[in-house]
Amino acid sequence: MPDDQDIRAPTCLSLEDRGNSPFLFSLEYERRPCPVIDVEALAELAVLPSMQRSMQFILALKKASLNEELASNAIEKIQNPPSHADPIDDPGTCFSISTYLALENASQLAYNHVCQAARTTFSGSPGANDILTFHSVEKLIASYTGVVSVEHDMCRNTCVAFTGPFSQLEACPICNTSRWKEERLQGTHGRSKIAAQTFMTIPIGPQLQALYRNKDSANDMDYLRTRTMEVLQGLQETGNIPVIDDIVMGWDYLGAVLDGDIKQQDIILMVSLDGAQLYDSKELDCWMYIWIVVNLPPDKHYRKLHIRPGGFIPGPNKPKHLDSFLFPDGPGLVYWNGMVGHSGKNGCRMYCGVLSRRKTQKKHYYLALLRPRDRCAAGSDHNDIDVFDLPLGGSTEYANNLNTIVSVCNKTQWDKKKTDTGLTKPPLLLALQPTRCLGIPLCMTTDIMHLAGNISDLLISLWQGTIDHAAADDLERWPWAVLADEEVWRAHGDAVEQAGHYLPTSYDRKPRNIADKINTHYKTWEFQIYIFALAPILLYSVLPTSYWANYCKLVRGFQIMCQSKLTMAQLVDAHTLLCSWEREFELIYYQLLEDHIHFVRPCVHQVVHLVLEAVHKGPPICTAQWTMERTIGNLGEQIRQPSKPYANLSREGV
């Protein structure tokens, strides 16, 4: 790493006081600027119907109020929440709640049987006749927890939700399927309209209010304020943050605090969206999202008890207009960023502005920093980029690029500008007040969980020689393809299985034989243990020395970034290791040959952003998708009606 490169946030101490921060600390700092976007002016630029629809949803959400979806009693509770929770003294009620929670993974019928047995066995005992029915105890628990659900109509083919600008439509604007159950509609001559399909959201507001009605949870909610004070005090006294172990140490958060965007009593939320696979036969059966309450201590806000499911989008098809599904929950699911994805010319997940390269006469782009030396497609022949001098995520060109993509006049122009800008549409997040969120693209985080899986897939496909390559590209000339032979691969799989017996208990479970199970849903945690714990040992003297040494740089750097606590010295080491790994990877695998440029998959570039994003957002483990994966697993285990999996999943989430 160059001697003059500083990965720390650009901060220095002074007596300057900007006057906005409620925390009353005098610090001079430089915050990553969030793009300034005039939403109304942006809407005026929209010409294509798809862009106009996107802007309609953004404007509608910007003007949304509580009165549009919630029942009057729910609105009353939000505006005038109870200040305390009434004590539960009745034995029958206590028994009902305890039984309901104990039978979390059981059926409603099981609850009824247990309660009936208690009434019969303890007849005449205090509270025996006051045991609540299943629906009554659920209603009571909802009043204490703030968990209420709201149903919304949607297209039966999962194209759109009938919300916002689509709320008055009688049929899907994409597939033209009726919104209603036709047999009921025709049987009543159009008088009875029952939605053919619905989806559910769970408003977060009442749940947050409920946390302040209990003394213990209210004290827990004060963690973020207290920790922020400690961090800022330490900064003022010492000029540095010695250990980064939470989002509160990230400069995106601290900058918002010092600018006064985040007040002492504000609630900070993190939202995570992912597809849920309920059946092995389908890749993604439905979509769901969760809320993580950052105000709670880290040892609590990732726990099952405190994870807040926000909404469920039934499958089996992928939503074609996701904004309409995200609209009902306001800020919920605004994670969707409107970006083109990794195959675009401006395809960095962090939107750093580095331009990708493509093969001659091909459309797919790859984030290779070094230019091919044999031949190079027009537009991909820009100079080599120094991996140690990459720009930060959140390119300052985002606002201009957004204006460009919104104002396109036709599909051909949209295709071209989409490639150039890396954007496909304006994101729903634009509807939120700029001072109430980090904003696109700064709110995008690295996801170290999926990154581990993607890196594993890339390296294994290279070592096995299964990655796509030209017929004339002989594997015999690939010194890294050491697992291409079937017998060698089988023996390697056996070694992985045997090595698992010697893993310490802190690894939880041992990975399965990778040769046997790689094509049958080998889990991400198994890939992570294999690539970042076992394979460095098992491939010693198997991979050529230069390739093994390069691989070890990745392993050590990635291991550091998976820690829950990071020192500045560790971050410097990790940055040096990961940047060196990326540069060497391009030289020894891609080899600056255009036919090999697809070896530089998006995960290779994402690795380089891990350290700098950690400085701004805290350890990557704090924003990893492990929490979402565990939530999907928890809810999937509770599905009891295979004939109605989506309705059952939503029900269990509530």
Q: Tell me: the pLDDT tens digits for 316-358? A: 677 777 777 766 654 333 335 678 777 778 888 888 889 999 9
Neighbours of 517 (CB within 10 A): 16
- Rounded CA separation 180/90 (Å): 45
**C-beta separation of 283 from 277 below 8 A:** yes
The position carrying tokens 């959140």 is 394
Residues with Cβ < 8 Å from 33, sequence gap 6 or more?
A: 396
Query: What's the chain's length in residues?
Result: 654
**271/261 same-domain check:** no
- Rounded CA separation 97/131 (Å): 9
In a domain, 415, yes or no: no
**564/632 same-domain check:** no
**C-beta separation of 336 from 326 below 8 A:** yes
Tell me the helix, strand and coil percentages in the chain, rounded to 5. Answer: 50, 10, 45
Sign of the four-CA dihedral 332, 335, 339, 343: negative
- Rounded CA separation 47/179 (Å): 27
Residue 95 sits in which domain range? 91-145
**314/455 same-domain check:** no
**C-beta separation of 447 from 562 below 8 A:** no
Q: 378-416 pLDDT, tens per residue?
A: 989 999 999 999 988 777 788 999 999 999 999 999 998
In a domain, 515, yes or no: yes
Q: What is the pLDDT of residue 2?
A: 44
**Structural domains in the chain (count):** 4
Report the candidate in 240, 206, 389, 402 with the shortest Cα–Cα distance to residue 308.
206
- Rounded CA separation 113/119 (Å): 10
**C-beta separation of 164 from 157 below 8 A:** no
**127/233 same-domain check:** no
**Helix (H, G, I), strand (E, B), or coil: what is residue 91?**
helix
Q: What is the pLDDT of residue 206?
A: 86
Q: What is the pLDDT of residue 29?
A: 73
Neighbours of 383 (CB within 10 A): 8
**7/107 same-domain check:** no
Which residues face 161 on adjacent strands? 154
**C-beta separation of 220 from 297 below 8 A:** yes
Residue 468 burial (C-beta neighbours within 10 Å; 0-12, 13-18, 19+): exposed
Q: What is the pLDDT of residue 106?
A: 82
**175/123 same-domain check:** no
Q: What is the pLDDT of residue 489?
A: 96
**120/162 same-domain check:** no
- How is residue 164 written in tokens? 């916002």
Report the candidate in 412, 327, 286, 444 with the shortest Cα–Cα distance to residue 53.
327
- Rounded CA separation 523/301 (Å): 24
- Rounded CA separation 55/39 (Å): 8
In a domain, 474, yes or no: yes
Q: What is the pLDDT of residue 186?
A: 84
**C-beta separation of 203 from 148 below 8 A:** yes
The position carrying tokens 């309609």 is 56
Q: What is the pLDDT of residue 639?
A: 61
**484/457 same-domain check:** yes
**C-beta separation of 646 from 314 below 8 A:** yes
Q: What is the DSSP letter of 541?
A: T
**508/652 same-domain check:** no
In a domain, 190, yes or no: yes
Report the candidate in 425, 273, 268 with the shortest Cα–Cα distance to residue 340.
425
Residues with Cβ < 8 Å from 536, sequence gap 6 or more?
A: 548, 551, 552, 555
Report the candidate in 523, 524, 526 with the shortest Cα–Cα distance to residue 497.
526
**195/117 same-domain check:** no
Where the chain has pLDDT below 70, the residues are 1-27, 67-71, 276-285, 316, 326-337, 636-654
Strands 286-293 and 308-313: antiparallel
In a domain, 436, yes or no: no
- Rounded CA separation 46/123 (Å): 70
Q: What angle do CA 181, 186, 192 make, to 5 degrees?
A: 65
In a domain, 108, yes or no: yes
**317/279 same-domain check:** yes
- Rounded CA separation 310/291 (Å): 6
Query: Any alpha helices (H) in 465-595, and if so which ranges?
Result: 486-499, 514-517, 524-529, 535-538, 545-561, 568-585
**472/519 same-domain check:** yes
Question: Which of residues 212, 247, 265 is at a domain's end?
Answer: 265
Q: What is the DSSP letter of 10?
A: S
CA–CA distance from 431 to each of 54, 323, 445 (Å)? 11, 12, 20
Q: What is the pLDDT of residue 428?
A: 86
In a domain, 535, yes or no: yes
**C-beta separation of 228 from 257 below 8 A:** yes
HEC sequence for 435-448:
HHCCCCCCCCCCCH
Angle of helix 545-561 versus helix 568-585 axis, rounded to 10: 140
In a domain, 298, yes or no: yes
